[in-house]
Amino acid sequence: MAVMTMIKAIQDGMRVEMERDDSVLVLGEDVGVNGGVFRATEGLYQQFGEKRVFDTPLAESGIIGTSVALAALGFRPVAEIQFQGFVYETMDQICSQAARLRFRSGGRFNVPMVIRSPFGGGVKTPEMHSDSLEALFLHTPGLKVVIPSNPYDAKGLLIAAIRDPDPVLYFEPMRLYRSVKQEVPEEAYTVPIGKARIVKEGSDVTLIAYGAMVPMAEKAALQAEKERGIKAEIIDLRTINPLDMDTLLASVEKTGRVVIVHEAVKTGGVGAELIARINESAILSLEAPVVRVTGYDTPYPISSLEDEWLPSVGRIRTAIDQVLDF
C-alpha cells in the first residue's frame, strides 16, 4: 500500500497496465516528455519510450480518430483530452465511430479504448476548462462513462476501463486531483464498472452524487446529522453509464426521500435520468419529490463567480430539509 493523491493513482493505474500489457498505449497533447498538463502521465515516457507514450498535434479529433483505428487493430489506447470542454471537437469520432463500430461490424471489431479528461469547477480555470459535459454521452449507446471520487477508485476504475473491450470515457474531477490522499495498493486491481458505492448508510434520505460532489455530499450529511439528527445514506455512482439501479432503488425504498447532486447544468443532466428511472421503478416508495442540486442552466461563469454557480454544502443542506419537511 502507498498513500496517493488521485493524480498519482491515475498515473499508477496506467503504469501497471502498461507493464502488464504491451498493447496499452498513451497519447495526447504534451503527455510524453512533459508528463501532461497535470502531470498525470509523468514518468511514463521515460519508462516505456516514444513508441508507447507519444505526443500528438493540438487536434482533438485527430487524437480520438487515431485511437479508434489503433483500438480496432488490436491496441488499447489511452487517449487524453486536456480538458473536457475541448471534447466537442471529438464528438463524431466518439459517437459515430467508437461507440458504433462493434454494432456496425456485427461484432467483428471492437474498440477497447479509454478517453481520459479532467473536468469540473472549483479551481478557477479559464473559459471552456471547467465544463461538466458528461451527460452528453449518456445518450450514446455503446459508451461507458466513469467518474471516480477518490484515489482508490480512480486507480481501480482506470484499470477496469483499460481492460474493458469497449470504449470508456474516464472523467477526472480536477478539484480532487491533489486535495485528497488515500492508501492505494501498488499492484494492479480493478473496481467494477457499473457498481455504485455506498459511502455512508442511513435511513432518512438518500444522497446520490459522483465525482467531486461526493465529498460535498458527505459534508452536508454530517451537518444535517449534527443539526437535526438526520441520517443520510450517501451513494457514489462511480459510473453514470451503466447506472447501478439495483443499489439506488434499494436505498430509495429504504429512505423514501432522494437528493441528487451534480455540478453539471440541471436540464437534461444525469439527475433527470435518475429521477425518470426512480419514478418508473420506485415511485410508490417516495415520500417526497426528488430534489436536484446542480449547476445552473447557463454557460460556466468566469472564475470569480464560480462559487455562486457550483453546488455547495449549504444548497445540499437546504435540499435535505426540503425533502424531509415535505
The per-residue pLDDT string of the chain (326 residues; one tens digit each, 9 = 90 and over) reads 999 999 999 999 999 999 999 999 999 999 999 999 999 999 999 999 999 999 999 999 999 999 999 999 999 999 999 999 999 999 999 999 999 999 999 999 999 999 999 999 988 888 878 999 999 999 999 999 999 999 999 999 999 999 999 999 999 999 999 999 999 999 999 999 999 999 999 999 999 999 999 999 999 999 999 999 999 999 999 999 999 999 999 999 999 999 999 999 999 999 999 999 999 999 999 999 999 999 999 999 988 889 999 999 999 999 999 999 99
Which residues, in sequence order, are bridge partners of residue 170?
116, 146
> Which of 33, 55, 57, 28 has its CA nearest to residue 44?
33
Whole-number Å distance between alpha carbons of 37 and 44: 14
C-alpha separations of 167 from 94, 111, 140, 185 in Å: 9, 6, 11, 25
**Cell numbers placing 255:** 429512505
DSSP for 47-100, please give it: HH-TTTEEE--S-HHHHHHHHHHHHHTT-EEEEE-SSGGGGGGGHIIIIIIITT
Contact between 197 and 223 (Cβ < 8 Å): no
Q: Which residues are catalytic?
A: 129
CATH code of the domain made up of 197-325: 3.40.50.920
Which residues, in sequence order, are bridge partners of residue 78?
26, 114
Do 197-325 and 2-184 fall under one CATH topology?
yes
Contact between 116 and 38 (Cβ < 8 Å): no
- Domain 2-184 falls in which CATH fold? Rossmann fold (3.40.50)
Contact between 232 and 205 (Cβ < 8 Å): yes
Contact between 271 and 300 (Cβ < 8 Å): no
Whole-number Å distance between alpha carbons of 145 and 168: 6
Domain regions of the chain by residue span: 2-184, 197-325
Work out the number of other CB atoms within 10 angstroms of the CB of residue 296.
Answer: 14
Contact between 17 and 170 (Cβ < 8 Å): no
Whole-number Å distance between alpha carbons of 25 and 248: 35
Whole-number Å distance between alpha carbons of 123 and 130: 8
Q: Coil, strand, or helix at residue 155? A: helix
Residue 241 identity: N
